[in-house]
Amino acid sequence: MLRLDSVSRHFGDQHVLDGISLTVPDGQLLSVVGPSGCGKSTLLRTIAGLLPAQEGTITIDGTPVHGVPERLAVVFQEYGRSLLPWLTVRDNVALPLRRRGLGRAARRAEAETMLERVGLRGAARRHPRELSGGMQQRVALARALVCRPSLLLMDEPFGSLDAGTREDLEDLLLELHRGRDATIVFVTHDIDESVYVGDRVVVLSPGPGSRVVRDLSVGLPGERDQLTTRGLPGFVELRTEVGRALRGR
Ligand SMILES: Nc1ncnc2c1ncn2[C@@H]1O[C@H](COP(=O)(O)OP(=O)(O)OP(=O)(O)O)[C@@H](O)[C@H]1O
């Protein structure tokens, strides 16, 4: 379980996060939305142990986070910068497995299995630059998941993809998440996406001093479909509620 207790953060005299408290049960996919610049990335970097929380505490399974937690993976929006251009796709995915002390052949075999799961079996020996943006983000997802993280942080991961590719990757994420115990914190500025992928949506207020202004449980069926789910009355109600919270109403 991931738990944030009154987490605050400022940069110099700029107050960014103001007393964020959240409990995220194991396996939950939590969407975080908020206006641009309110501190969503700062929140993720703080959970990732890359920035210290200046006030408050963050714990994972009761252990305080100081530094980067074990079994953490992160996916950023800029897939082009997160993959190593000189390595093949397979070796990019295999990279985190080095920490597990696996031999080269075993690492490559696991990477290939993971690439198959993200629909890129044929791309293992290619280099990132030879792939489309959506394919590169699939590689980044495979690399994040290959070590079976217990906590996955995603910072607007599909924000720079075209609409169709984005929907495909939302569905892939849901499929990969199904039946697994990884907790996911998914930052997005897209209201519909927050509801579509989330088990729960948290809305942050505008800065300075951003706080949680709405915490909504997404009671939609687990099996989601881009056309059917988005047409459900429950989906429409939720997206309206998230939109209202974002506009401070
Ligand atoms: N390392 C830093 N040093 C100084 N200020 C920072 C630093 N990182 C973030 N900030 C400031 O903190 C505020 C929140 O930034 P952050 O990137 O967390 O917001 P965000 O909600 O993720 O924004 P966006 O939706 O536009 O990506 C911004 O005003 C930003 O300029």
* Residue 207's pLDDT band (cuts 50, 70, 90): confident
The response to whether residue 86 sits with its C-beta less than 6 Å from ligand 1 reads no
Q: Please give the residue that has the higher pLDDT: either 135 or 249.
A: 135
On the question of pLDDT at 206 being above 90, the answer is: yes
ipTM of the modeled complex:
0.96
Give yes or no for a cis peptide into 208 (omega within 30° of 0): yes
What pLDDT does residue 74 have?
93
* Residue 98's pLDDT band (cuts 50, 70, 90): confident
Q: Is the pTM higher than 0.90?
A: yes
The response to whether residue 33 sits with its C-beta less than 6 Å from ligand 1 reads no
Query: DSSP 3-state assignment of 175?
Result: helix
Question: Is 99 exposed, middle or buried, given 0-12, 13-18 or 19+ CB atoms closer than 10 A?
Answer: exposed
On the question of pLDDT at 66 being above 90, the answer is: no
Domain 2-71+149-246, second-level architecture: 3-Layer(aba) Sandwich (3.40)
CATH 3.40.50.300 residue spans of the chain: 2-71+149-246
What pLDDT does residue 242 have?
97
What pLDDT does residue 79 have?
75
Mutate to test the pocket of ligand 1, among 10, 16, 153, 246 (most ligand atoms within 8 A of CB): 16
107-133 pLDDT, tens digit each: 999 999 999 999 999 999 999 999 999
What pLDDT does residue 205 have?
95
The response to whether residue 50 sits with its C-beta less than 6 Å from ligand 1 reads no
180-204 pLDDT, tens digit each: 789 999 999 999 999 999 999 999 9
CA dihedral 45→51→56→59, nearest 10 degrees, is 60
On the question of pLDDT at 52 being above 90, the answer is: no
What pLDDT does residue 40 have?
95
What pLDDT does residue 99 have?
83
Distance 41 CA to ligand 1 centre (A): 7
What pLDDT does residue 95 have?
93
12-49 pLDDT, tens digit each: 999 999 999 999 999 999 999 999 999 999 999 999 99
142-183 pLDDT, tens digit each: 999 998 999 999 999 999 899 999 999 999 999 999 877 899
Question: Is 53 exposed, middle or buried, given 0-12, 13-18 or 19+ CB atoms closer than 10 A?
Answer: buried
Distances in whole angstroms, Cα of residue 85 to Cα of each of 33, 93, 121, 171: 31, 12, 19, 27
Distance 87 CA to ligand 1 centre (A): 31
The DSSP call for residue 206 is: P
235-245 pLDDT, tens digit each: 999 999 999 99
Of 224, 145, 223, the C-alpha closest to 192 is: 224
